[in-house]
Structure formats: C-alpha cells, structure tokens
Homo-oligomer: A and B are copies of this chain.
Amino acid sequence: MNDKQPLGAFIEDGQRYRLTSPTELPNADAFLWNAAMMIQATCRGYATAQFMQPGPAKYAHGPTLAAKTFMQPEHPYFAHHAGRFFYVKDHHTNTLWSAPYEPTRMPLDEFRFEPGLNDLRWVLRKDDLEVTLVLSLADDHPVECWRVSVTNHSTHARQIGLTPYFPVGYASWMNQSGDYDTKLNAVIARCVTPYQKLEDYPKQKHFKDLTFFAADKKPQSWSARLQAFEGEGGLHNPDALQTGTLDNQAAIYECPACIMNFEATLKAGATEQWTFLFGPAEHETEIAERLAELLPEGKIEQPLEQQRQQLKDTLSNTCIDSPDTNLNAVLNHWLPRQLMYHGQSQRLTTDPQTRNYLQDAMGMAYLDANQTRTALTTALQQQQSSGQMPDGILLEGATELTYINRIPHTDHGIWVILCLQAYLNESGDAGLLNKMLPFADGSEASIAEHVDRSLDWLLADRNEQGLSYIQQGDWCDPMNMVGPNGIGVSGWLTQALAVALNQWAELCRQTGRQTQADAYTTAYNEQSTIINLHLWDGDWFIRGITDERRRFGTKDDDEGQIFLNTQAWALMAGVASSDRQPRLIASVQERLQTPHGPMLCAPAFTRMHEDIGRVTQKFPGTGENGSVYNHAALFWSAGLFAAGENERAWQVIRDLWAFDDDERFLRRGQLPIYVPNYFRGAWHQFPETAGRSSRLFNTGTVAWAYRLFVENLLGLTGTLNGVRVTPFLPKDWPVFSAKRTFRGAHIELTVKRDGSLTADTLRCNDEIVDGFELNDLQAGQTYRLDYRVSG
C-alpha cells in the first residue's frame, strides 16, 4: 500500500474513486458504456469490451477462440488476456515499465487508478516520469478514446519510447490479419467472424470485423504481429522492445495486435501528449469517419462533455446529504449511474429476460419514467392473450430467444405489476391503464386488462392446493428440476403472487376498478391462507415442493435448509403472522446473515440434488447456490422495510458497499463504485473466500436499491395524487437532508431526530402535514419538508 494515500477513497466530490495499489485488489475494475458498447477495465490494464451488432460482439479477444457466452462471474485474467497497455522505455536508464501496470508488472513510484463517472483515469509515476491515461468513449459508436500524456518531472531532458500495445487476439479461424494503414495512420486488424451455415452469412455480412488503433501522431515504427513482438522475452519483456524499433510487419493469418512505437525527447518539466482511438469498424471508410470526428485537436472532449452533462442532468434529480459522505457519493452518483447503465444498455443483450427487463425498467422509473412506460408497453405487446408473459423480451434487431430464455420459467408475470407500480408512483399516469395494446397472438386489450390476464394466468397456473407451479425455474433460473413434470411448485412464486395480487388490488381500487379490486383482494387473502397452511416449516417458510412431492428448504434437509427468498417475500406479502414474523427474521439472522449480507440459502449445496436441479451443481457460495446474492438481499431489505424492521433493512443496503472496513474491502476485491451480482457466500463452509465479489455489474440489485433509497430511506413514495413522506433515519445519523425533483416539483427534505417528540411530524414549508401525504404538487414549486423523527 501507498504510505501517502489510502488504498481506496472517493475523490472529486464523490464523482471519482482512487485506488492506489495495482496489487492489493488486482482485479479491481470500472466500466464505461455508451449507446453502442460497454468496456470493463481492471486497474492493471486488462479489459473486456463488447459492442452490439445487434448481438454482443468483441473487437479484442484473448489468444484462443473463446466460447460465445454471457459475462462470467469472477472473470479471471492472465498475461495474454485482452487489455490496453503502454510500454514506457527510458532510454537513458534502459528501464522498461508499463502503464497502467501489466504486462511488465514493474513496481511504480506512484499508482493511481481513478475511475470517474464518464472516464477511467490512471496516473502512474516512475523515476520522475509521469504517465496519465484517460479513457472515454465516443457517443453513438463503439470507439475508445485514449488520451495519454507523459511528463518529465526530473531536472534533465529524458529520451523515452512509448509503445501502446493493444492486442486483438484470436478473432477467427477463417481469416485474421493485421497491417498498418499509412493513410489512416492506424494499425487495422481484420477478420471474418466464423460461421458455417449459409443462413448466417447475411446476418454477419455487415459485421464490424475490423479492429483499428489510430493515433494522432505518426509512429516511428509499428507491428501487427503479436508473437513476433513478444518473442522469447515474453510479454513482460518483449523481444521487440530490446531492439529499439518495431518490425513494421503485418500479421498474416496470425493473432494480430496493434502496436506502435513513439520516440520522444522531453525537456525537464515538459509534457508530450497523444490521442489514440480503438474500436471495431466495418470498413476503412467508417474508420476514416470516426477519425475525422474524434481525432482533431479538442474533438475527443466533446462527446465526453456531453456525456458528463447528460449524466449530471439525470442524476441531479435526486440527491442526499447525509453524515456518511461515502454513502452520499454512492447514492448520488454511482448507484443511479449503474441504474442508467442497465436502462440504457439492456445489459448488452437483444433479448433481456422478462424478469430483468421489467425490474431494470422499474428502477429507471425513478430517473426517467418515460423509459419505464416504453418498456412496459414493449413487454406487454409480447404477452400472450392467455396472459402468459414470455421468458425474454425481443428488442429491436432480435429474432429469437437465447440462452436461459429458452428454458420455461413461470414467474415473468409477477414483474409486470412491480414495474407498473413504480411507474405509477413516479408518474401518476393512471391513464396508461386504459391504453389499448395488442397481444403477441393477435387480439388487443387495455393495459389494465393485460395485467389482469397476467395475474389470472398465474392464478390458473397453480396446483389443487393453490401453490404455483415452477416448471423449469422461477426467479431462481437454475432451479430447473423441481417441476419439469408439472407437479413441483415454488413456495417463492406462491408468495410473489400474493405480493402482486395485493399491489394490483390496491391499484384497481385507486383507479376505480372496484370489481377487480374485490376479486384480487379475495384472491390475495386466499393466497395468504395457502402460504401459511402449506409452506410453513416451524421457523421459516420452505422453498418449494418437488415433482416427487418432497418439501425442500426445510429443517430436515442436510443442505439448502433455508432460503432467503421465501422469508423476504413472506414479509413483502404481509402474510407472516405476528408470531411467525419474528421467528423467520431470527432464522435468517442466525442461519443466513454474514458480514457481507444475507446468503441466498444455507448450507450451500455441495452435491447434485436431482429433484432441485442445476442450482445445486453450482459451486457452493457462488451465484444462486448460497452466495450473498445482492438482488435477493434487497428483496430481504424490502421485506424488512415492509415489516417495519427499518434499521435491519437499512443495514442490508449499507452492506452493499464496504468503504470503511479494510478487511471487507480487500476480501471483496472490488471498488465500491458498483454493486456486483453477488459476493461469495457459504460463509461457514468456505470462510477463506466468503465475501469475494463476482465483479459482474449486471444485476437486478440496482433497481431495487434505488427504489428503496427513494421510497424507504428518503421515504418519498409517489401516489396517484401526490407523494407520501415517510423517511427513515438510520440510528447512527442525527440528520440528513435530500433534494428531489418529483413530477416537476422541487422537494427539499430535512430529516432530524428530535428526542422531545413522541410521534414523528412532518412540516411542509413550515406547516404541519397530517397523514404524511402531500397532494396536488405544482411543477416548478419548491416544497421544504421538515421531517422530525421522534424518540
């Protein structure tokens, strides 16, 4: 660790993070995205980037033909992994090092990895040479923009060589090469995306099979040959950098790399700058266009400025000022930024799972409700007239469901209401319910009726006891062998249906659909009885019943005894009696809680259970097999809030970010600038690795975290007519304040503890508000809310 600076800290008013060691959290990373791409880069220079054409594709690969698959948890890096590296050679001392750290791994005098909201920055220093790297993205195209500067902080002139090395890797066995294009001043790698079937050709014909690396200055020499560059020296000490100049040779059906050498003499105090562009393209003309747009002096900053402004505008909608400054940084910048990423990128898939799509849209309601409206209507147009929701939503350009969306799951209808509720909370747009919308198979109906049918389908899809069939999965995708024979049921889905019925009944009531309100209320009450009758196990709710009619998630199981979700949703559904509620909370506390959050189940499965399925084959403590699966952790938080266990609920959210706890921070191995899909669980079984981050930033956690932040911490829940104000003040905070623009009105909230009060009070512009509800807010007006917490 660095003596002068902490290992990690937010800087620049929380809008940037600083990591000062390349070795303590070697896989610490950050990500950027734009309309066309995403890049995840580690502090050491490894990177994984994807762009859409229309499916996700790569323009820089590892040295082996990789499986076409989703992003992997705990993605491993290795010497020849794709990355963006800059060798620095000091010709006087003959020292070779590399920025940001790989591949030479030469210890540096100073290392700062500083990801910001819209760029990634590194500041490196060795022997009085300072190298700064800044990566940002173009606006609508998949282009990485690199600004690199080298400053000589010594008192004498220095002669240096800067050699960017951007490997392109193994793109294709059909055709791969690389060469330098004098006119474009770019090394261009070419390939033909492999295929065999004739029908794939038209789909691939216009793929961006070129990868270009362009510079704003002419290199002294270049190479496109990875293996020749590396030679016997290895990437940590490439042969080519021993000789002074690169070989100026093309890669001819070999793994290509983009390598250029720039020689510079820097006077004392002088700085030299370079601009580089890296990305995919279909042909040279497209490259020329990108270069013209981005390479001239000052051009590269334009999209970055625009992105900064756009992000700032969106995030300024809501902000908190609490005594926890780190948390402020997260809630004001990084959490909504990650949410925007989900809403804008759709996780870089053309067929998001319906469940993911609707939850991401649910979160987006708090940033941009229009986008949620679009998502809802997109999804409901792909509903069957039977009410069944599809497993995935086909977005523009997509023609078929892929991966997990080919496996039948039964829960997708649930998320319609949860998403709709958030949309109505934020927009008050009850008129949407009357909008007519077609079904996938022809007829049309109002959105309200679409929702009715989705619930009716779920109500019909139950067994004789009223328990919901699971088929090959519910929220838990890999729980695929509980119900394939049409008998097994999901305890969780039975509860989730109660949550949905309850919410919809209330919405129907509020929108004058009394008949439906009554029917769904009745159904909800029945569901409550069913849950308590068939799913209670003494100290918690079981997870389900298999095709062989075996109850699982019970005390009698030797592993997978207790599942978090059936406790969380029991609370959310409000079906646990006053007797059962504390018992199930105590059970979770005792059996699932860890310093990183609650585990999804415990003990994690250590062997295949053929009546539960694939989830039991996952490594114990990873993914759905007993990790701290943050999405589910926030279900638990939502359940605790619903049960009035606010302090506990809040702690679950707070545990998403470990700032102040070195041990947790190092274990996680990830910067607190995004919430990962999971932290390793199996805390009792594998204490060595418990807490390690998956480093996957695609996760439903984000939408829930933001919703809970707005509606439960700030306590600003929209109603059809206004807003309900029920903030929560964590016990270690004396006060917080927040600002929120809501339907155009400016809310300024202060929440303070007041020991003299026996009940909470709310004042708006100094006047007492009875019932904690404001109605008829006027756009443009400012509402100063003063909330006093009693006791």
Interface residues of A (CB under 8 A from B): 23, 62-69, 72-74, 76, 78-81, 105, 170, 173-177, 192, 195-198, 201, 227, 232, 234-236, 252-255, 403-404, 406-407, 472, 480-481, 484, 613-614, 617-619, 621-622, 680, 686, 688-689
Q: Which residue of B lies closest to A690 (CB)?
A: B252
CA gap between A175 and B606 in the complex, in Å: 10
Q: List 21 A-B contacts (CB under 8 A).
A: A62-B62, A62-B64, A63-B76, A64-B81, A65-B69, A65-B72, A67-B68, A79-B80, A79-B234, A105-B234, A174-B617, A175-B617, A175-B622, A195-B614, A196-B407, A198-B480, A201-B614, A234-B236, A236-B236, A253-B680, A253-B689
**Would you call the interface of chain A mostly helix, strand, loop, or mixed?**
loop
Check B23–A232 contact: CB distance below 8 A. yes
Q: Which residue of B lies closest to A195 (CB)?
A: B614
Closest Cβ of chain B to A143, distance in Å, is 25
Closest Cβ of chain B to A596, distance in Å, is 15
CA gap between A472 and B201 in the complex, in Å: 13
**Contact partner, A255, options B23, B64, B76, Cβ 8 Å:** B76
Check A76–B64 contact: CB distance below 8 A. yes
Closest Cβ of chain B to A305, distance in Å, is 37
Check A403–B196 contact: CB distance below 8 A. yes
CA gap between A636 and B548 in the complex, in Å: 65
Closest Cβ of chain B to A40, distance in Å, is 15
When distances are taken between beta carbons in the complex, the residues of chain B under 8 Å from A484 are 198
Assuming the A-B contacts A74-B253, A198-B480, A406-B197, are A232 and B105 also in contact, with contact meaning beta carbons closer than 8 angstroms in the complex? yes
- Best-surrounded residue of A76, A192, A407 (most CB of chain B within 10 A): A76
Closest Cβ of chain B to A149, distance in Å, is 27
Check B67–A65 contact: CB distance below 8 A. yes
**Contact partner, A79, options B79, B406, B618, Cβ 8 Å:** B79
Assuming the A-B contacts A76-B255, A198-B484, A480-B198, are A176 and B619 also in contact, with contact meaning beta carbons closer than 8 angstroms in the complex? yes
Closest Cβ of chain B to A195, distance in Å, is 8
Check A252–B79 contact: CB distance below 8 A. no
Assuming the A-B contacts A66-B66, A252-B686, are A173 and B73 also in contact, with contact meaning beta carbons closer than 8 angstroms in the complex? yes
**Contact partner, A253, options B63, B613, B621, Cβ 8 Å:** B621
When distances are taken between beta carbons in the complex, the residues of chain B under 8 Å from A622 are 175, 253
Closest Cβ of chain B to A87, distance in Å, is 16
CA gap between A73 and B174 in the complex, in Å: 9
Closest Cβ of chain B to A55, distance in Å, is 15
Q: Which residue of B lies closest to A104 (CB)?
A: B234
Check A197–B76 contact: CB distance below 8 A. no
CA gap between A81 and B81 in the complex, in Å: 11
CA gap between A399 and B406 in the complex, in Å: 21
Check A254–B198 contact: CB distance below 8 A. no
CA gap between A69 and B65 in the complex, in Å: 9
When distances are taken between beta carbons in the complex, the residues of chain B under 8 Å from A67 are 65-68
CA gap between A336 and B175 in the complex, in Å: 32
When distances are taken between beta carbons in the complex, the residues of chain B under 8 Å from A64 are 62, 64, 66, 76, 78, 81
Q: Which residue of B lies closest to A250 (CB)?
A: B688
When distances are taken between beta carbons in the complex, the residues of chain B under 8 Å from A472 are 198
When distances are taken between beta carbons in the complex, the residues of chain B under 8 Å from A174 are 614, 617-619
Closest Cβ of chain B to A71, distance in Å, is 10
Closest Cβ of chain B to A112, distance in Å, is 19
CA gap between A252 and B685 in the complex, in Å: 11
CA gap between A68 and B76 in the complex, in Å: 19
